[in-house]
Amino acid sequence: MALCGFNQKMLEGLASFQEGLVEHGLFERSRETGQTVEERLQEELSDMGRFSVETHRIEDPELRAITESLSKYAQAFYRLARRKGLDNYKETARAVTDFFVEMDRIYYGERQGEGLQGQPNDMRQLTEYLNEVKV
């Protein structure tokens, strides 16, 4: 991928984060607050949306970027999990992980020199390919 690629530990961490978003952020919190899961999801998305408007106030540019990116990631995973069915959240997390693995495979290739890395328009080609990958 255009960052550094993924190793097993990174992929496991992302999968755990995604599963935790649904398990803690939606299922556990809905029980604690007496809300339905959908109500909790709507509130979480609303909170994150309102938060994103205020993140410019975080003065450290790297911490601001990390915070904004993490919030956007969580929002996007919530929306994808809802679209795929919240009961299937583990399968959705696995599909997102597989998406990242496929991104690495195409960018870096199976062996040195086989992927898109270093080719003219490599990032454009990668994103065009990723449009064809189904999650």
Angle subtended by helix axes 89-108 and 8-20, to nearest 10: 150
- Asked whether the beta carbons of 19 and 11 are under 8 A apart, the reply is no
Say whether 32 sits in a helix, a strand or coil.
helix
CB-count burial class (<10 Å; 0-12, 13-18, 19+) for 78: buried
- Evaluate if residue 2 carries a pLDDT over 60: no
Q: What is the pLDDT of residues 12-58, one digit of tens each?
A: 999 999 999 999 999 999 999 999 999 999 999 999 999 999 999 99
Q: State the pLDDT at residue 4.
A: 67
| Mean pLDDT, range 83-95, rounded to an integer | 97
**pLDDT-based confidence at residue 3 (cuts at 50, 70, 90):** low
Q: State the pLDDT at residue 114.
A: 86
Nearest CA among 104, 120, 105 for reference residue 4: 104
- Asked whether the beta carbons of 67 and 58 are under 8 A apart, the reply is yes
